[in-house]
Structure 1
């Protein structure tokens, strides 16, 4: 499969934070906001975005991820904060009508963004069905206590990347890529792991460490409940396509748990592959489906991005 438009590095200051972006296509194309998953980055769309010829795809590294700026120590990484960032980013770009392409956690951010912005003309979810991490009803207080204990423990023991900025986590590039491959998606291909890892690694000379904020590996003190997560799904009022991997995170009971919360006209499609099937080996049928789902729309004047 031949690649179309090559990607470009861009940057933009939004909500007082610096965001690194990858973009594909011509700025006159249909605007598509691509939202990656937890601990991933814009490279998640490196294989599929070039194959959307009529679209202008903007994929930010979410705050604290990849090459984007970390949040301040007194702030966090709640999904609604990510959604607010993306709402402000779209406003900066001057998009009046646009589509959203989300993967995993990105689908949860997209579901909240849909409540903030009514200019979304279509949404595509890839192996995600909204907010991924929820807290049980009645367990909010205990969850917050546990999250705070884990944070204090990580800082004290310097685990999970909480060491100094010059402290290497890996002695070789191969070790880092192997850890990334053995993460959430056990089916992630070696090439997919390399693409994600290379955007998220700092070469210290004597080793490597992740760029992402180590706080991302810990649970947020406050999380939505399952009922609230479903409410955000139910209020989506634009065409929604949900593309799931047959060996992905929703191959079993997880799909049944959320399916009744999907808007009535949602179209669900299944593809061979795991959680990152869009990054591992995007099939022609997947690309065809994406191009059909991301309907064209008009937009107003857009802000030029800053070349990175």
Structure 2
């Protein structure tokens, strides 16, 4: 599949009280919204392969995919403080309220980090979310309580290094393809899909290009929940939920599926061929199960 730049998507700027988000829209603006939330270090264009099939499967909806703060074309969070995943919950809360004043939000669609945030938001405000679609994500990440000291020390050490380097000029690459190949080597994601993501996360810099994503995104979070906290949050979620995992995706997700079946009272689960970014490399397969979940058609 060869995709044209941004697949004729409409660029949106969404001004929230605390930050401005960039977004892409596919489909007609009067139709109900599928609100898409991308993964860590990705951006709105990671949903472009799904949008390629949108008219064939979900023409009765529009797809709005945001760039999280610090990703893509969205603003960075102010200041130089460490970041925490809970920050995204606040973003989603304000964004959801903002969009609900204009549109009917038919479903939340989240991949990886986006799915983590969407699941926690749904657990907290279940009556607001009509339907939930999780791709390679189930719940907030958790770890044993005895890891807290080690995590805090590592986070503070990384942030200290960030502060020491924050005024240094950004690294300049000759062209985007250098960064595309680097991401491919690191993640094993096929180069065409890396290209889609990397292009939106870079900006011109002199005779070359530099990353425009917030460097704090690569630092360890200072705190992670325990299983007991996550288990308490995720109990008895009645929102109709579609969980899609990959045959070659995050291995712990397969182990957590029984737990998901306990947390979500109305869940449909599919494992499809692909890796962690299966919504890109197996976009038609993902669209098929999404269509069946949302419309009853495959």
Structure 1 position 86 matched with structure 2 position 86: no
Q: Verify the 8 A CA contact 1:38 1:105 in the aligned structure 2.
A: yes
Q: Which moved more, 1:55-64 or 1:224-233?
A: 224-233
Distance 2:116 2:195 in 1: 25
> Alpha-carbon deviations, 1:127-183, whole Å to 9, x = none?
12222x433213223311220011112333x3xxx463x432423321111122233
Structure 1 position 118 matched with structure 2 position 120: no
Q: 1:15 aligns with which of 17, 31, 48?
A: 17
Q: 2:182 aligns with which of 173, 179, 187?
A: 179
Q: Verify the 8 A CA contact 1:14 1:88 in the aligned structure 2.
A: yes
**Structure 1 residues 176 and 163 mapped into 2: Cα distance closer, same or farther (>3 Å)?**
farther
**Deviation at 1:90?**
1.9
> Alpha-carbon deviations, 1:30-66, whole Å to 9, x = none?
2111000001100110110341311111111001111
**Structure 1 residues 235 and 169 mapped into 2: Cα distance closer, same or farther (>3 Å)?**
farther
Structure 1 position 292 matched with structure 2 position 295: no
RMSD: 2.3
Corresponding residue for 2:106? 98
SS at match of 1:112: helix
SS at match of 2:156: helix
SS at match of 2:107: strand
- Which residues of structure 1 form unaligned runs of 5+? 297-308
Aligned length: 284
Distance 1:143 1:258 in 2: 26
Distance 2:142 2:17 in 1: 26
Q: Which of structure 1's runs of 4+ aligned residues deviate more than 4 A?
A: none
Corresponding residue for 2:237? 236
Corresponding residue for 1:68? 74
More helix by share: 2
- What is the TM-score with the length of structure 2 in the denominator? 0.86
**Deviation at 1:118?**
2.1
Corresponding residue for 2:159? 151
Distance 2:139 2:220 in 1: 17
SS at match of 1:109: helix
Distance 2:255 2:22 in 1: 36
Distance 1:127 1:31 in 2: 21
Corresponding residue for 2:33? 31
> Alpha-carbon deviations, 1:73-126, whole Å to 9, x = none?
255532322122112112112145431111011111001211136221111111
